[in-house]
């Protein structure tokens, strides 16, 4: 009971870790080990984000285990290679072989939806990380998400772009998957609601070696604003080819992207100059400072905390808290305790992490950013 109250107090207020480590109540006992299944893109087009998620998870794991000597948590990580097929292999391994009581993953909607369906079919709770397609709502009971879905982001990005530029003719280019198509739909609705016009909407297949045809279609009706949904290599190639074809220059400063942290490291700096977007605004409060301090110790003082790290950190914390609240490592008990854990936890991704009936975040705070000389900087809209 004392141990549980410590975890709960820490989750609530982000009181500094060293204070607990010196608390007499924390004593070594016969430790129970709880495996947390993690399915992530460690390689492939989403690999960069996946590796950062793991960094956040490992940081949280150290904190949680330090506070909970009688119940130690362990991450069982599988690489989904950014591919739905490999993701299915990974989830079967976690659920059927490793028999984990809860799964955290993945970083893409296209891999999250089928793998979460599999987890839930085996009555294993599944905590989605950065999957933001509205389709995750259909997954049903036992699914929870660390971030809000694209109903929120799509509308926010379109509104932000139109207000920032004062222009109305919008071109939309998205990946032809659940994530991209879901965002495109919300963007279209928001553009219309803000008095604008979508003059072109193009869907591209992720992982292709050439997007010139798609870019030419996108720019054919001469949009004044481009809303692009891309990441990793796709983002690099799209912006590179748009720049080389002289198209990017026609909307200089008016190319907007959800989650620009997903593209900033992949892009050629010159091609992504002045690309703007909205990102999950990591809460700059106590929890964030605590994460920063832990990461500086772990990887050095020049650490750049992107939202992937925050999501991984929050996911492990909220899961450990649910296990603690349930006082059980049984899948059903964890699943039942997760809504409460989300409600009381104050996260890095968002201070208020309470979820709705579908297990999705009720609210999401976004910050606006711009890419300058290959780095992501805070941006204040015009």
Partner 1 sequence: MNLTQILINSLVRASELGLIAMGVTLVFSLLRFANFAHGELALIGAYLAYALSAAGLDLWLAIPLGAVATGFIAVAIDKALFARVRTAPGLVLLVASMGLSLFLKNVVGAIWGTKSYSFEGSLARSFSFAGGFVTSTQVIILVVSVIAMLCFHLLLSHTRLGRAMRALADDSELARARGIRVEAIISKVWFIVGSYAALGGALIGLETVISLELGYSVILPAFAAAVLGGIGSVHGAMLGALIIGLAENIVLAIDWSFLPATSGPLYIDTGYKLAVAFLVMVAVLILRPRGLFQGTSGD
Which residues are paired to 37 by β-bridges?
Answer: 76, 103
Per-residue mark of binding to partner 1, 140-179 (x: CB under 8 A): ------------------------------------x---
**Three-class SS state of 197:** strand
* Residue 191 neighbours by CB under 8 Å, 6+ apart: 158, 162, 170, 197, 198
Binding footprint of partner 1, residue count (CB under 8 A): 34
- Put residue 110 in one of left, alpha, beta given phi > 0 → left and psi -120 to 50 → alpha: alpha
Residue 245 binds partner 1 (CB under 8 A) = yes
Indicate which single residue of 271, 309, 325, 376 sits in contact with partner 1 (rule: CB under 8 A).
271
Strand (E) or helix (H) holding 20? helix 17-21
Q: How many residues does the chain have?
A: 382
Least distance in angstroms from the C-beta of 243 to partner 1: 6
Short-list 86, 90, 70, CA closest to 6: 70
Q: How many whole angstroms separate alpha carbon 261 and alpha carbon 304?
A: 11
Q: How many whole angstroms separate alpha carbon 22 and alpha carbon 40?
A: 34
CB-neighbour burial class of residue 207 (10 A; exposed 0-12, middle 13-18, buried 19+): middle
Least distance in angstroms from the C-beta of 153 to partner 1: 24
Indicate which single residue of 169, 212, 292, 340 sits in contact with partner 1 (rule: CB under 8 A).
212
Indicate which single residue of 39, 116, 237, 251 sits in contact with partner 1 (rule: CB under 8 A).
237
Q: 259, 277 in Cβ contact below 8 A? A: yes
Pick the closer one to partner 1 by CB: 171 or 182: 171
Indicate which single residue of 63, 78, 81, 279 sits in contact with partner 1 (rule: CB under 8 A).
81
Angle at 272 between CA 266 and CA 278, to 5 degrees: 85
Indicate which single residue of 37, 44, 182, 260 sits in contact with partner 1 (rule: CB under 8 A).
44
Pick the closer one to partner 1 by CB: 160 or 231: 231
Residue 64 CA: distances (Å) to CA of 3, 10, 35, 128, 311: 11, 9, 13, 20, 16
Indicate which single residue of 3, 71, 126, 243 sits in contact with partner 1 (rule: CB under 8 A).
243
Least distance in angstroms from the C-beta of 212 to partner 1: 6
Pick the closer one to partner 1 by CB: 205 or 343: 205
Indicate which single residue of 6, 14, 20, 45 sits in contact with partner 1 (rule: CB under 8 A).
45
Least distance in angstroms from the C-beta of 233 to partner 1: 4
Residue 209 binds partner 1 (CB under 8 A) = yes
Least distance in angstroms from the C-beta of 49 to partner 1: 12
> Beta 143-145 vs 125-128: how paired, if at all?
parallel
Least distance in angstroms from the C-beta of 151 to partner 1: 24
Residue 373 binds partner 1 (CB under 8 A) = no
Per-residue mark of binding to partner 1, 118-137 (x: CB under 8 A): --------------------
* Residue 314 neighbours by CB under 8 Å, 6+ apart: 56, 60, 146, 345, 347, 348, 349, 353
Contact footprint for partner 1 (CB under 8 A): 43-45, 47, 81-82, 176, 200, 202-205, 207-214, 216-217, 232-233, 236-237, 240, 243-246, 268, 270-271
């Amino acid at each position: 009971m004392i141990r549980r109250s410590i975890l709960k107090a820490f989750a609530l207020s982000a009181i500094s870790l060293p204070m607990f480590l010196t608390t007499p109540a924390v004593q070594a006992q016969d430790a129970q080990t709880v495996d947390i299944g993690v399915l992530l893109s460690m390689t492939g087009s989403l690999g960069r984000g996946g590796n950062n998620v793991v960094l956040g998870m490992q940081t949280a794991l150290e904190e949680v285990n330090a506070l909970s000597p009688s119940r130690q948590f362990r991450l069982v990580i599988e690489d989904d290679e950014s591919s739905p097929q490999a993701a299915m292999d990974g989830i079967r391994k976690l659920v059927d072989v490793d028999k984990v009581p809860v799964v955290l993953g993945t970083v893409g909607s296209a891999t999250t939806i089928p793998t979460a369906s599999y987890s839930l079919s085996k009555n294993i709770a599944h905590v989605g990380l950065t999957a933001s397609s509205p389709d995750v709502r259909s997954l049903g009971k036992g699914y929870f998400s660390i971030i809000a879905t694209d109903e929120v982001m799509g509308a926010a990005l379109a509104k932000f772009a139109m207000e920032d530029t004062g222009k109305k003719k919008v071109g939309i280019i998205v990946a032809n998957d659940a994530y991209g198509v879901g965002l495109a739909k919300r963007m279209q609705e928001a553009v219309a609601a803000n008095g604008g016009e979508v003059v072109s909407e193009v869907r591209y297949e992720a992982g292709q070696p050439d997007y010139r045809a798609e870019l030419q279609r996108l720019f054919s009706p001469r949009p004044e604003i481009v809303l692009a949904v891309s990441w990793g290599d796709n983002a690099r190639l799209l912006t590179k080819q748009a720049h080389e074809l002289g198209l990017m220059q026609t909307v200089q400063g008016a190319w907007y992207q959800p989650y620009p942290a997903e593209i900033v490291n992949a892009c050629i700096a010159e091609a992504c100059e002045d690309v703007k977007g909205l990102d999950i605004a990591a809460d700059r409060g106590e929890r964030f400072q605590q994460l920063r301090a832990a990461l500086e110790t772990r990887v050095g003082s020049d650490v750049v905390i992107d939202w992937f790290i925050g999501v991984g950190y929050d996911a492990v914390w909220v899961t450990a808290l649910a296990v603690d609240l349930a006082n059980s490592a049984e899948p059903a008990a964890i699943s039942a305790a997760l809504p409460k854990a989300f409600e009381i936890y104050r996260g890095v991704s968002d201070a208020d992490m309470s979820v709705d009936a579908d297990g999705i975040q009720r609210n999401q705070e976004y910050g606006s950013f711009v890419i300058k000389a290959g780095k992501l900087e805070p941006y204040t809209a015009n």
